[in-house]
């Protein structure tokens, strides 16, 4: 009898164990989250396990009244972000390079979303809640950010607006990670053109990393921020509302910035013909004030009138190091040459380790 009772007890315990395993698997499948394993925070996480803040309200981006459709976004309060360090996609080689991807620079394989996306026809949507996180969205529209600490990650934006993502003055903490930002050629408001993939209209620093960016005329437009591990390509030429060819740059900064701009380990391509408005792969221009505090390190640059405009006379604190200048579009990197407007005598200006894709050192001409 005792033996039978033990057998029955063992059977019950085994059944309970099986039931517990089934329920755990069901819960993991239902929520899409499995028990975190020990070790470093996974690359796909915004936050490492075990560091979640106390649950709070779930904010939602507020749609612009002119937006088409009525989105009900699945947004969450932004946690402390944990993401790979900039430049972690692999150090570029030091010898001749045949292409960006073959030599450790970002390309389509290492940028853009890493998860399946859900379509959201938002139109031109305003984000007005601090701490909003947008993840896994395939957005047909544009985001206008009037909030602090907003994160867009593992998403896609297809815009027909002036911008893909725009940070308004007075707000800070915007992060755009692992996202594709593109537009529909001929459908933008600037006489069919689109101007800025990510625009920073204020005086705060923003981060753009591991993004695949195309079509926009001035893809990354900002005076301060951290731009790293991005792939900017296939910029599309267009005539603006004034009837002139819009100047195009993969990265553009107009000077007068108060904070630091860091441009590190990106692939920045400007294929636009110079007669159709091409300016640069990186354009540091003193349009609104002197250029200062810019780091340009370890990028692959190709195209433009010149591949790099270095800030001009009076620029200070410009560090240009270990970049590769490619002849992908022009034998001299840009239509007219590799570098223009470099002030070697500017305080804190550094030029070191820059070379062409076939391994020759790049030495800029003195500024007139």
Nearest to 285 by CA among 304, 309, 250: 309
162 Cβ contact partners less than 8 Å away, ≥ 6 residues apart: 142, 188, 189, 190, 194, 195, 196, 199
Instruction: For residues 214 and 182, give the distance between their C-alpha atoms in angstroms, rounded to a whole number.
Output: 5
Task: Tell me how far CA of residue 87 lies from CA of 100, 201, 226, 320, 354, in angstroms.
Answer: 14, 26, 11, 16, 17
Instruction: For residues 302 and 330, give the distance between their C-alpha atoms in angstroms, rounded to a whole number.
Output: 8
Predicted TM-score (pTM) of this structure: 0.78
How is the chain split among helix, strand and coil, in percent rounded to 5?
10, 35, 55
5 Cβ contact partners less than 8 Å away, ≥ 6 residues apart: none
The pLDDT of 164-193, averaged and rounded, is: 97
Tens-place pLDDT, residues 43-95: 333 333 333 333 333 344 444 333 333 343 444 434 334 344 454 444 455 67
Q: Residue 219 pLDDT > 60, yes or no?
A: yes
Instruction: For residues 268 and 300, give the distance between their C-alpha atoms in angstroms, rounded to a whole number.
Output: 6
Report the percent of the chain where pLDDT is more than 70. Answer: 74
Nearest to 101 by CA among 251, 215, 213, 266: 266
Q: Which residue has the higher pLDDT, 258 or 266?
A: 266
């Amino acid at each position: 009898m005792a033996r039978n009772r033990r057998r029955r007890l063992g059977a019950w315990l085994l059944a309970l164990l099986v039931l517990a395993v089934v329920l755990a698997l069901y819960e993991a499948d239902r929520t899409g989250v499995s028990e975190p394993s020990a070790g470093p925070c996974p690359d796909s996480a915004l936050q490492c396990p075990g560091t979640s803040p106390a649950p709070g309200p779930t904010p939602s981006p507020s749609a612009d009244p002119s937006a088409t459709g009525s989105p009900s976004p699945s947004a969450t309060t932004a946690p402390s972000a944990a993401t790979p360090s900039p430049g972690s996609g692999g150090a570029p080689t030091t010898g001749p390079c045949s292409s960006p991807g073959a030599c450790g620079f970002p390309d389509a394989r290492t940028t853009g979303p890493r998860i399946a996306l859900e379509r959201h026809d938002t139109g031109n949507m305003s984000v007005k809640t601090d701490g909003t996180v947008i993840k896994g969205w395939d957005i047909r529209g544009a985001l206008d950010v009037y909030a602090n600490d907003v994160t867009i990650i593992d998403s896609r934006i297809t815009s027909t607006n002036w911008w893909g993502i725009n940070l308004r003055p007075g707000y800070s903490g915007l992060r755009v990670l692992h996202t594709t930002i593109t537009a529909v050629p001929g459908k933008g408001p600037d006489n069919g053109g689109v101007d800025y993939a990510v625009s920073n209209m204020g005086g705060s620093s923003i981060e753009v990393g591991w993004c695949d960016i195309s079509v926009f005329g001035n893809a990354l437009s900002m005076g301060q921020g951290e731009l790293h591990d991005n792939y900017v390509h296939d910029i599309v030429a267009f005539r603006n509302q004034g009837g002139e060819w819009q100047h195009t740059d993969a990265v553009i900064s107009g000077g007068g910035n108060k904070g630091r701009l860091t441009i590190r380990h990106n692939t920045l391509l400007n294929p636009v013909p110079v007669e159709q408005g091409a300016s640069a792969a990186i354009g540091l221009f003193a349009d609104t004030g002197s250029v200062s505090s810019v780091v340009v390190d370890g990028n692959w640059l190709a195209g433009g009138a010149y591949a790099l405009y270095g800030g001009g006379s009076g620029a200070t604190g410009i560090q240009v190091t270990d970049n590769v200048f490619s002849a992908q579009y022009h034998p001299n990197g840009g239509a007219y040459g590799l570098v223009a407007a470099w002030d070697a005598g500017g305080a804190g200006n550094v030029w070191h380790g820059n070379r062409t894709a076939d391994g020759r050192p790049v030495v800029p001409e003195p500024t007139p």
